[in-house]
Amino acid sequence: MAERQIVIFVDDEEPMRHAVRQWLGVAGHDARSFASGQAALEHISPGLNGIVLTDLRMPSMDGMELLRRILEIDPDIPVILMTGQGDIESAVEAMRIGAYDFIEKPFDPERLAQTVRRATEKRRLVLENRHLASTVPSDALRNRILGTSREIERLREAVSEIAATDVSVVLHGETGSGKDLIARCLHELGRRSTGNYVAVNCSAIPDTMVETEMFGHEAGAFTGAAGRRIGKIEHANGGTLLLDEVESMPLTMQAKLLRALQERVIERLGSNSSIPVDFRTIAATKRDLKAESNAGAFRSDLYFRLSVVELTIPPLRDRRDDIPLLFEYFAGEAARSHNREPRPLKGAALDALIRHDWPGNVRELRNVAERHALGLSSFAASDIARPIELADVMPLTEQLEAFERRIIERALADSGGRISEVMEKLGVPRRTLNEKMTRLGIRRREAEDQNRQ
């Protein structure tokens, strides 16, 4: 049977602690009561399998302070506050800060049980999603974020770590480096994966249409507004909002976006009604937002709101070891899509690929690979195969290492990381293979796992 969820109940009155603990026990919960917030905090951790129910008015540490402390430990722990009849304003403020719900005294025990039941179910789903995010991303990310370079290994590790959280993220990267791919991975491996993934290209929206595009409008809000339209932010409710090229958003719109992010409410154009929204924000940019904010080109308060975590996606020229693997993947994908036989890539053309600077990054490489699959380009004559100059030629030892690395990585990929198959295919003993992988900086979790067996 699944472990019963804990309900941590905090109240400074002993009769109330005794009564509520009995009610919750009858409802099937593992209720644990504490006389103060300080005592309860010692039993609250990010992995708490349960929720917190607390009185609002208590000496020393009141319910509001306890709520703030709990949210610092884990913002996904549901906190229910019990309030008196004169505390409604405080209860509303608690909901704005992040409380799950509040119950006004005197309350019906059945209503309390129902509220606790909903909160524990929400917590159960959060913990399940975290467990999936901690076990699935390793393989899932390797199939999505391709490459074996150290830079890509570090990027995958970072994405895996923050996908299960709900923090705002800023993605830095050149054009075509894969910012949308990383944003989609963060969404699909996070707890909002069942919600909508809404991508907005901020540079493609005319200034006159930004507000209605982001916030929506009511019928008759302006000339031509024949009906109600849901905006991008509202459409992202419960999911993820990607703000691509966020640096191009007009300053007036940045102020309105900041308000929506802070208060978690929006108003459609032409309406006075507030609509609550709950979404994760990912901003993508090819510029230094910090420098932009210092120069006054981007609101500094919005920058700090967006940049809880910042990830830099390396350009292709900084991870040249990944180019052969990426090219082969894209070319094979294009060949299957167009019902063509895969075309081999010869050594000179491969060297030309690796030497190229790739200003268009992965997007440019994908286009070149597709042309190759269709037989529409020859690398010997293409503009990416520039003449080899003396400065371009790597020392012989480096060329040999690069060739050896590609051979081992290809064998690892073909075998699914099974070391025994790689040993047999390459005709090398285990110790020699391990030494080569260490020297060449080849880090494959699958290989390490097999090597322990």
pLDDT digits (tens, 9 = 90+) for 398-448: 656 767 777 887 788 777 778 888 888 888 888 888 878 887 777 654 444
**Is residue 352, in this structure, part of any structural domain at all?**
yes
The separation between the first and the last C-alpha atoms of the chain, rounded to the nearest angstrom, is 32
Work out the average pLDDT over 141-163. 88
Q: Which two tokens stand for residue 110?
A: 């059945």
Residue-averaged pLDDT of the chain: 84
Alpha-carbon span 242 to 328, nearest angstrom: 29
Residues 43 and 108 in one domain: yes
- Better-scored residue on pLDDT, 347 or 283: 283
Listed residues 133, 162, 179: the one ending a domain: 133
Residue 391 confidence (pLDDT): 36
Domain range enclosing 55 = 6-133
Q: Of 81, 98, 133, which residue is a domain's last? A: 133
Are 168 and 99 found together in one domain? Answer: no
In angstroms, rounded to a whole number, what is the distance separating the alpha carbons of residues 362 and 315?
Answer: 8
Question: Same structural domain for residues 333 and 299?
Answer: no
- Pick from 314, 340, 374: which residue ends a domain? 314
* Domain total in the chain: 3
In terms of domains, do 103 and 180 share one? no
Query: Does residue 190 share a domain with residue 285?
Result: yes
Q: Alpha carbon 229 to chain centroid distance?
A: 28
Give the Cα separation of 347 and 225 in Å (integer): 60
Residue in the structure block whose two tokens are 């640096």:
247
pLDDT, position 233: 96
Residue-level pLDDT at 380:
43
User: Residue 1 domain-assigned?
Assistant: no
294 and 189 assigned to the same domain: yes
Mean pLDDT in residue range 356-361 = 90
Asked if residue 379 and residue 272 are part of one domain, the reply reads no
Question: 14 by DSSP, 3-state: which?
Answer: helix
- Better pLDDT: 85 or 218: 218
Q: DSSP 3-state assignment of 52?
A: strand
**299 and 360 part of one domain:** no
Residues 370 and 309 grouped into a single domain = no
- pTM: predicted TM-score of the whole model, two decimal places: 0.58
Are residues 389 and 441 part of one domain? yes
Nearest C-alpha neighbor of 254 from the set 287, 294, 210: 210
Do 208 and 275 lie in one domain? The reply is yes
Among 102, 52, 57, 103, CA closest to 75:
52
Q: How far apart are CA 247 and CA 202, in angstroms?
A: 8
CA distance 90 to 95: 9
Residue 1 above 60 pLDDT?
no
How much is the pLDDT for 347? 66
Has residue 139 been placed in a domain?
no
Rounded to whole angstroms, the Cα distance separating 29 from 80 reads 15
Question: Do 114 and 164 fall into the same domain?
Answer: no
Do 437 and 426 form a contact (C-beta atoms < 8 A)? no
Residue 192 per-residue DSSP state: T
List, for residues 154-187, the tens digit of each pLDDT value: 999 899 888 888 889 999 999 999 999 999 999 9
